[in-house]
Amino acid sequence: MATAQLDQARIALKKYFGYDNFRPGQEEIIQGVYDKRDTLVLMPTGGGKSMCFQIPAITMEGMAVVVSPLISLMKDQVEGLKANGISAAFLNSSQTLDEQTTIENEIYHGEIKLLYVSPEKMLSPNFLPILRQGAVNLFAIDEAHCISSWGHDFRPEYTQMKFLKKTFPDIPVIALTATADKITRRDITAQLGLENPHVFISSFDRPNLSLTVSPGQKRYEQIVQFVRKRRNTSGIIYCLSRKGCESLARKLSGAGYHADYYHAGMTSRERNSVQTDFINDKIPIVCATIAFGMGIDKSNVRWVIHYNLPKNLEGYYQEIGRAGRDGAPADTLLFYSYSDVMTLRDIIEKNVSEQESIQLAKLERMQQYAEALICRRKILLNYFSENLGENCGNCDICKNPPSLFDGTIIAQKALSAVARAKERIGVNLLIDILRGSRRREVLERGYDKIKTYGAGADISSRDWQYLIQQIINLGLLEIAYDHHHVLRLTEEAQRVLFGKKKIQLARMAEVKERREKSKREVKVEKKRNRVKNDLFKVLRQLRKDLARKKGIPPYIVFSDATLQEMAAELPVTEVDFREISGVGDVKMEQYGPIFMRAIARYQAAQGGGKLNVAPSLDEQSTAMIQLLKRGLPIVEIAMLQKLTPEEVSSRLAHLYASGADVELKRLISKTELKQILELMENLPDPIRRKDVIAALDGRMGPEKVDYAMAYIERNG
Ligand code: ADP
Ligand code: ZN
């Protein structure tokens, strides 16, 4: 019996959602629901919680009622379900009475499989009769942590949900949340009156998110570099202040990146408009305070940047968790500097509260994470009481493991400077002294007279930041937060100063070197992926157009992960297309032919589609290649072939790009090629032919640009 039910579940997963397999845990949870067990599900954002009640709802008789606290989320989920051919609806205060009546009628007629309601609606007296007649088979309480006053999103109405188990003791309740701590967990079970619930806690690991921490110097420049490589992909930049959001968005817009901002100081209309444009891929970049992202389900957020250090790891993890919900690779970047820690400490200390010491301790954990020299994901998961056996391979430390060297002398220089400045200087002033700065403050305070003045001039100030950070982490220096953040020597420092102890530091230069190597690797990878990516762009545009026509967010049409798979697999038959993860029956019918046509067109334009495989050539092309080999100039080839010279050169460039045996050296000299490539490097992405021609300013003909572009296309 049970297995037959699970078979049904698996069939529904493929038919409606286009997925072949359940994720870990989903099957077990669904089986529990079939067995009418109350269930508590803890899964990270993007883990696939919804499926745990959607599949039972679809496969069982009757209707599932889902309580969800955020109206925008509700709408999103219902749209997503409908796009997959599942009859779903929502009831909340945003609707007119007429709209509500229509839906109530559908419920009476058993036409709804999934009904989303707000907690208020659930508790309203006129809703109870609907529940009684609607043949409810399951109650799902989404964002169940809202029930706990410990949680950050406490919702008083949630605490009254206990009436569900009292009124409908035989209907299973499934509570779902991404907040994992024990108190919240206990609260949920108690408040809902769950009976001996099946508790499922999934791993909080999100392996598709890359983790990078970067020193907080030149943040803006780093951001521009970062977004330049990710043109037209959606991302969020979290900033501490409203003003910071606004000015960053303006600067990025000024530099040609379409960015907007979002914070609590705006009217709700302004905020909604930004959010909607973000969801619909109309604004790719949003600079926001932490409030942004809470009520949206957008699965194709490809990156998250933290302009400032978050207050704690919970907040940080929740915020980066908004990237890559579709499971496709997504990148996160955190900027870290001491001054951020200091600002946050000041904020915490100013808001006198009983929790001050807890908050400071949490901030310290955040700081440790940012300063880590071991796999960051290990630290992160450790914090959530999870043990990652191996290094993750997808964080900056794993990708560029720092190498250690004897740092005793370097540390002695820094410690001695601190001692000679009588422990009255902070990190920045210390660096100034070590580097022999002529800054006024240094001279006025007479620090140019102390023995270690200029003793570290050979190390850049950025590297010093990095080194001093480590010296502090090693417990040799302490920051006196209560005394203008000056540095103090610890007992351990004395031992190092007097040569009784040696210490190891991680080298900055090593990291840079390795980065370059990995850049090369990236280049190779890029070449391999070029075709794939170009097609992905085409498919993304197609998705956007379709979504606009239908008035739904693009990721509801297909997720990024699904489009990426299409771009890699190139399905042009119905059987192949149906194999793509995320293509269910309805989407096959509605969008399949359109996307298959686009893929086929793209392949045709690529001359067969395969990279670096010589295309089968027509007679004329073969002749042109031979004539070129014999050393004929373009004009003569053109005459022989009855073509214009422009046509010949553009054709040869195209042939070369697609892998044909065209001797490029006869078309463009090495120096010319080098000049154009250098020029292109300095142009903003995406590089367009006409921009290169303009930049050349007549120094070479446009055909040379075609050859250079063909060179890049073929060789990366
Ligand atoms: P959560 O509610 O836990 O944040 P969702 O239910 O929104 O996560 O799921 C996140 C993404 O994962 C969605 O795009 C969803 O379609 C996808 N997903 C869920 N289950 C599976 C599965 N078994 N196979 C592939 N993708 C899945
Ligand atoms: Zn790692």
37-46 average pLDDT score: 91
Question: Residue 714: pLDDT above 70?
Answer: yes
Question: Residue 258: pLDDT above 90?
Answer: yes
* Res 499: pLDDT: 92
> Residue 581 CA: which ligand 1 atom is closest?
25
> Residue 44 CA: which ligand 1 atom is closest?
3
8-state DSSP, 436:
T
* Res 522: pLDDT: 54
641-662 average pLDDT score: 86
What secondary structure does DSSP assign to 10-66, as a single string? HHHIIIII--SSPPTTHHHHHHHHHTT--EEEE--TTS-HHHHHHHHHHHSSSEEEE
Query: From ligand 2's centre to the CA of 376, what distance in Å?
Result: 5
Question: Residue 380: pLDDT above 60?
Answer: yes
Question: Residue 14: pLDDT above 90?
Answer: yes
- In this structure, whether the domain defined by 619-715 belongs to CATH 1.10.10.1390 is answered with yes
> Residue 297 CA: which ligand 1 atom is closest?
7
455-477 average pLDDT score: 86
Pick the CATH number of 209-339+359-385 from 3.20.20.70, 3.40.50.300, 3.30.420.40, 3.40.50.150: 3.40.50.300
How do the domains of the chain map onto residue ranges?
2-201, 209-339+359-385, 404-502, 514-607, 619-715
Highest mean pLDDT among 133-147, 414-428, 478-492, 523-537: 414-428
Query: From ligand 1's centre to the CA of 76, what distance in Å?
Result: 14
For 438-461, the pLDDT digits (tens) are: 999 999 999 999 999 999 999 988
Q: What CATH number is given for 2-201 in this structure?
A: 3.40.50.300
Q: Tell me what the pLDDT averaged over the chain comes to.
A: 87
Indicate the fold that domain 404-502 takes in CATH: Arc Repressor Mutant, subunit A (1.10.10)
DSSP helix/strand/coil, 133: helix
Ligand nearest to the CA of 375: 2
Geometric angle at alpha carbon 684, from 680 and 687, rounded to 5°:
55
544-562 average pLDDT score: 93
For 400-516, strand residue ranges (E) read 404-406, 477-480, 486-489, 504-506
For 605-648, the pLDDT digits (tens) are: 776 544 433 445 677 888 888 888 888 888 888 877 888 888 89
Query: From ligand 2's centre to the CA of 286, what distance in Å?
Result: 27
Question: Residue 204: pLDDT above 90?
Answer: no
- Cβ atoms of 115 and 89 within 8 Å: the answer is yes
Query: From ligand 2's centre to the CA of 358, what distance in Å?
Result: 27
Residue 190 in tokens: 């108690």
101-130 average pLDDT score: 92
Ligand nearest to the CA of 211: 2
What does the alpha-carbon distance between residue 147 and residue 505 come to, in Å, rounded to a whole number? 47
* Res 153: pLDDT: 67
Which residue is listed with tokens 């410690």?
415
Highest mean pLDDT among 359-373, 559-573, 623-637: 559-573
Residues with CB under 6 A from ligand 1: 19, 21-23, 26, 43, 45-51, 299, 325-327, 559, 581
Query: From ligand 2's centre to the CA of 342, what distance in Å?
Result: 27
> Residue 299 CA: which ligand 1 atom is closest?
14
- Preceding amide of 24 cis, omega within 30: no
Question: Residue 403: pLDDT above 50?
Answer: yes
Task: Report which protein residue has its CA nearest ligand 1's atom 13.
Answer: 326
* Res 180: pLDDT: 63
**What pLDDT band is residue 511 in, cutting at 50, 70 and 90?**
very low
* Res 371: pLDDT: 86
> Residue 20 CA: which ligand 1 atom is closest?
24
Mention the CATH class of domain 514-607. mainly alpha
Pick from 32-41, 347-356, 441-450, 668-677: least confident: 347-356
Question: Residue 215: pLDDT above 90?
Answer: no
Query: From ligand 1's centre to the CA of 14, what distance in Å?
Result: 13
Pocket test for ligand 1, best of 19, 26, 30, 51 (most atoms within 8 A of CB): 51
203-207 average pLDDT score: 88
Query: 404-502 and 619-715 share one CATH topology?
Result: yes
Question: Residue 580: pLDDT above 90?
Answer: yes
Task: Report which protein residue has its CA nearest ligand 1's atom 18.
Answer: 48
Which residue is listed with tokens 């529904």?
12
> Residue 54 CA: which ligand 1 atom is closest?
6
For 169-202, the pLDDT digits (tens) are: 999 999 999 876 777 788 899 999 998 899 998 8
* Res 517: pLDDT: 46
Element (H, E) at 635: helix 634-641
Query: From ligand 2's centre to the CA of 378, what distance in Å?
Result: 7
**What pLDDT band is residue 364 in, cutting at 50, 70 and 90?**
confident
* Res 523: pLDDT: 53
Ligand nearest to the CA of 298: 1
Pocket test for ligand 1, best of 42, 325, 581 (most atoms within 8 A of CB): 325
Question: Residue 139: pLDDT above 90?
Answer: yes
> Residue 50 CA: which ligand 1 atom is closest?
6
301-307 average pLDDT score: 97
CB atoms under 10 Å from CB of 136, counted, come to 18
* Res 514: pLDDT: 43
Query: From ligand 1's centre to the CA of 306, what distance in Å?
Result: 25
121-140 average pLDDT score: 90
Query: From ligand 2's centre to the CA of 203, what distance in Å?
Result: 16
